[in-house]
Structure 1
Amino acid sequence: MARPWEVTLSGRRRAVVVTGASGGVGRATAVAFAARGDRVALLARGREGLAAAADEVQRAGGEALVVSVDMADAKAVDDAAQRVADAFGRIDVWVNNAFAGIYAPFTEITPDEFRRVTEVTYLGYVFGTRAALHHMLPRDRGTIVQVGSALAYRGIPLQSAYCGAKHAIQGFNESLRCELLREGSRVRTTMVQLPAVNTPQFDWVLNRLPGRARPVAPVYQPEVAARAIVHAAGHGRRREYWVGGSTAATLIANAVAPGFLDRYLARTAFEAQQDEDEGEQAGPGNLWTPADGPHGRDFGAHGRFDEESHAGSSQEWVSRNRARMGRALTVGAGVLAARRLTRLARR
């Protein structure tokens, strides 16, 4: 059963911040919040994507506030949070989602490139969380959602910088969660671990592979991730959500047989992360500048893998409805027990 403050948050127009909102999962998440009437602050660097995302938010029924910011700049993030609080009066939900990545063997990534991925993908979450807490702790209310990945537990080849950052987010979030629990704070932090998602990142990420970068199958549509994130924002007492059967399988297998996964990924993950298309592998790159501006285009929420992507996930539905299923199983067990007792009494 949801706590009173969670019911309140889910029953009114919340003031929501989504980072990395110009495309992909962030874009789909912003629209999902808007569909329930929330006011949504869209944080990202690219202007074309932000403008298009704002239009989608408004068409979905929400109110949009566009804030152009580099999440690796701590002061800029603080200023962005203050701008949101000034415009909306408060911050109820903060979704950390912005990231950068490189597809390349570790030895082909320069120190500056590795640092940049870490600053955006890890420190961007740290700076975003700090800015959110500045506004949530005085009110003793709010939820911070860290958008993670199966790669927060299980590193794979060719994404060392990204995997390292996601592992760091996992440890940081657990540490913060313990501190909030110790203080008895009603500010919540939760993490949503995602599977491979059909987003435009594979067409703009810095790529040094022979072929075009692609997600490891199975692939899910960004709306699947968005539903889980919106649900997590309203049920922040739960420490973590897994999205997709592949995420659950990966995390369980890694806990049971990590050495086996090392060898399996060494054999399969190089080919699984690239298409055979040659000559088109280098996208515009968004490591140092946004891929959609100033002369770029709006990439939207979906990538080029619509035909193979799953629009739903039974595992994600179960994860969101775990409490309801538990109650149903309890009632069912009670009914069966009552029937058995009745039969015994008639003997």
Structure 2
Amino acid sequence: MTKAIARLGGKHTTNLQIPLDEDVTIGGRSFKKGTLLNTGLDVPARSLLPLGMRPSIGQGKLRVGITCALCHASVDNRTGRILEGAPNIDINTGLVLAFATNSAAMFRQTDGIGRATALQFAKRGAKVVVSGRSEAKLASLVDEIRGFGAEASSIVADVSVFDQVKAIADHTVEVYGRLDTWVHVPAIGLFATFDNITPEEFKHVIDVDLMGQVYGAMAALPHLKREGRGALIHISSMEGRRSLPYQSAYSAAKHGIEGFTEAMRVELQHEKIPISVTSVKPAVINTPFWNNGLTKLGVKPAGIPPYYDPRLVADAILHVAEHPTRDFLVGDAARALDVLQRLSPELVDSLLLLIGFPLQRTDQPKSPEDRNNFYEPVPDDTRIDGDFNKQVIPSVSDWLDKNPVVKWGAIAGVAALALLATQVGKDGGRV
């Protein structure tokens, strides 16, 4: 039960009744399952909700209501209708969150995108469990989260080992009582032509970048099903839509993520279980990924510019946790590449022949024996940002995708102007 009084903004909530889904005792009185509890509430905006209640939203539209901490039923404050599977609003700030106050999110990376995401979720009031291969990097992240008053715990694990991934999910439920959202971030990079990769190296990329994601979903799904709702958020890549030279193993893994998440998503829809499955596909992100990858190019690898801020990906992850989304592309370049690939894969082949090889190489020498995280973590690298800050640009289309009313309004406006221009042309310039 929520152990704090919550503040709630919005319209009045009057005489709400909440059905109990189990026998309970409240204040020495016993109530049978199915009993309607008359809350007697007449709550004005920004007033206090009684103990054990928390605000909620439902079905993608903001519906400021309450959720009974006893039966977890969410009630619309305007209609009194039960909203099944509604995620929650932060009881202290009124901000929409994908979590109840006793829930947890999972993060599987302690630098770059994973670190940025864990920090943002924690700042929004979620209780997080972070995991990775380096105990020192985990301790650094947990200390940072606790430093601003949020709750976090950690567990060391290797995503290529199913039992260790399962232990993360079980640990989360043991510590916080439930698991609401699983965010799976980690990946390793291998930069080489296909014929310069050993079978063992290719398999290791698949084990971490694909099977790690598979194991994560397998570990989290039973807990989410038991709750009857939740979110699986898999960090894929635009290379799940379009493969790049020098990155055949990584691209293969990202294509595999798209394959199993698409099948799993439809299976959950068939079972009518409100668990969202989202694939987040970033463009080139300025993280330490480029520093820490294993390279056989003779130089430090690079992404094909432009680069985007890793916090943009963290914002996208937070957005899809709050607003169930099938796919979310991060970065204008990701959307442009997606359109080009759909229109003409041969055209993209030609573009990559022109720019794909030189732009993925820096002038900085690096050998396969130099520091990388292919088999072991780089313990002292806890940065969020990489080395390409000067090539980072903002993204307009991300904001539009997070504000669909504005997006479709703009599209409708452009279509209307185009239609008007066409009509004026037909009329010989007369309006």
Q: TM-score, normalised by structure 2?
A: 0.72
Whether 1:317 aligns to 2:399 is: yes
Give the equivalent residue in structure 1 for 2:119: 31
Inter-partner Cα distance in structure 1 for 2:143 and 2:306? 31
- 2:336 pairs, out of 245, 249, 260, with 249
Inter-partner Cα distance in structure 1 for 2:148 and 2:237? 27
Give the equivalent residue in structure 2 for 1:338: none
Query: Identity over the aligned pairs, expressed in percent?
Result: 31
Contact in 1 for aligned 2:282/2:329 (Cα 8 Å): yes
Instruction: Give the aligned residue type for 2:112.
Output: G
Instruction: Give the aligned residue type for 2:163.
Output: K
**What's the offset of the Cα at 1:328?**
8.8
Contact in 2 for aligned 1:48/1:298 (Cα 8 Å): no
1:150-177 Cα offsets, whole Å, 9 max, x none, are 1100001000000000000001110001
**What's the offset of the Cα at 1:243?**
1.1
Contact in 1 for aligned 2:401/2:407 (Cα 8 Å): no
Whether 1:84 aligns to 2:172 is: yes
- 1:263 pairs, out of 325, 350, 367, with 350
Inter-partner Cα distance in structure 2 for 1:147 and 1:96? 6
Inter-partner Cα distance in structure 2 for 1:299 and 1:91? 26
Inter-partner Cα distance in structure 2 for 1:115 and 1:71? 14
Give the equivalent residue in structure 1 for 2:88: 8
| Bigger fraction of residues in strand | 2
How is 1:106-185 mapped onto 2 (pairs within 5 angstroms)? 106-185=194-273
**What's the offset of the Cα at 1:330?**
8.4
Farther-moved stretch of structure 1 (122-131 vs 43-52): 43-52
How is 1:306-345 mapped onto 2 (pairs within 5 angstroms)? 306-310=389-393, 312-323=394-405, 325-326=407-408
Instruction: Give the aligned residue type for 2:328.
Output: Y
Give the equivalent residue in structure 1 for 2:31: none
Whether 1:188 aligns to 2:298 is: no
**What's the offset of the Cα at 1:323?**
4.0
**What's the offset of the Cα at 1:251?**
0.6
Inter-partner Cα distance in structure 2 for 1:276 and 1:209? 11
How is 1:156-305 mapped onto 2 (pairs within 5 angstroms)? 156-236=244-324, 238-279=325-366, 283-292=370-379, 297-305=380-388
Structure 2 residues without counterparts, runs of 5 or longer: 1-58, 62-82, 90-95, 416-431
Inter-partner Cα distance in structure 1 for 2:86 and 2:309? 27
Structure 1 residues without counterparts, runs of 5 or longer: 334-347
Instruction: Give the aligned residue type for 2:348.
Output: L
**What's the offset of the Cα at 1:7?**
4.1
Whether 1:63 aligns to 2:121 is: no
| Bigger fraction of residues in helix | 1
Residue-pair matches, total? 327
Q: 1:204 to 1:143 in 2, by over 3 A?
A: same
**What's the offset of the Cα at 1:326?**
4.2
**What's the offset of the Cα at 1:264?**
1.7
Give the equivalent residue in structure 1 for 2:106: 17
Contact in 1 for aligned 2:279/2:328 (Cα 8 Å): yes
Q: TM-score, normalised by structure 1?
A: 0.88
Contact in 2 for aligned 1:150/1:195 (Cα 8 Å): yes
Instruction: Give the aligned residue type for 2:88.
Output: T
Contact in 2 for aligned 1:204/1:283 (Cα 8 Å): no
1:297-347 Cα offsets, whole Å, 9 max, x none, are 13321111122213x42111111111455479889x9xxxxxxxxxxxxxx
Inter-partner Cα distance in structure 2 for 1:299 and 1:289? 14
Secondary structure at the aligned position of 1:212 is classed as strand
Q: 1:257 to 1:179 in 2, by over 3 A?
A: same
Instruction: Give the aligned residue type for 2:401.
Output: S
Inter-partner Cα distance in structure 1 for 2:269 and 2:231? 13
Inter-partner Cα distance in structure 2 for 1:209 and 1:182? 46
Q: 1:279 to 1:117 in 2, by over 3 A?
A: closer
Contact in 2 for aligned 1:103/1:207 (Cα 8 Å): yes
Whether 1:74 aligns to 2:162 is: yes
Farther-moved stretch of structure 1 (218-227 vs 261-270): 261-270
Instruction: Give the aligned residue type for 2:345.
Output: P
Instruction: Give the aligned residue type for 2:399.
Output: W
Inter-partner Cα distance in structure 1 for 2:373 and 2:129? 21
Q: 1:143 to 1:26 in 2, by over 3 A?
A: same
1:55-110 Cα offsets, whole Å, 9 max, x none, are 22223442111111000100111111101110111111101111112011111111
Secondary structure at the aligned position of 1:215 is classed as coil
Contact in 2 for aligned 1:211/1:281 (Cα 8 Å): no
Contact in 1 for aligned 2:400/2:406 (Cα 8 Å): no
Contact in 1 for aligned 2:210/2:257 (Cα 8 Å): yes
Farther-moved stretch of structure 1 (281-290 vs 101-110): 281-290
Q: 1:330 to 1:263 in 2, by over 3 A?
A: closer
Farther-moved stretch of structure 1 (167-176 vs 259-268): 259-268
Farther-moved stretch of structure 1 (156-165 vs 254-263): 254-263
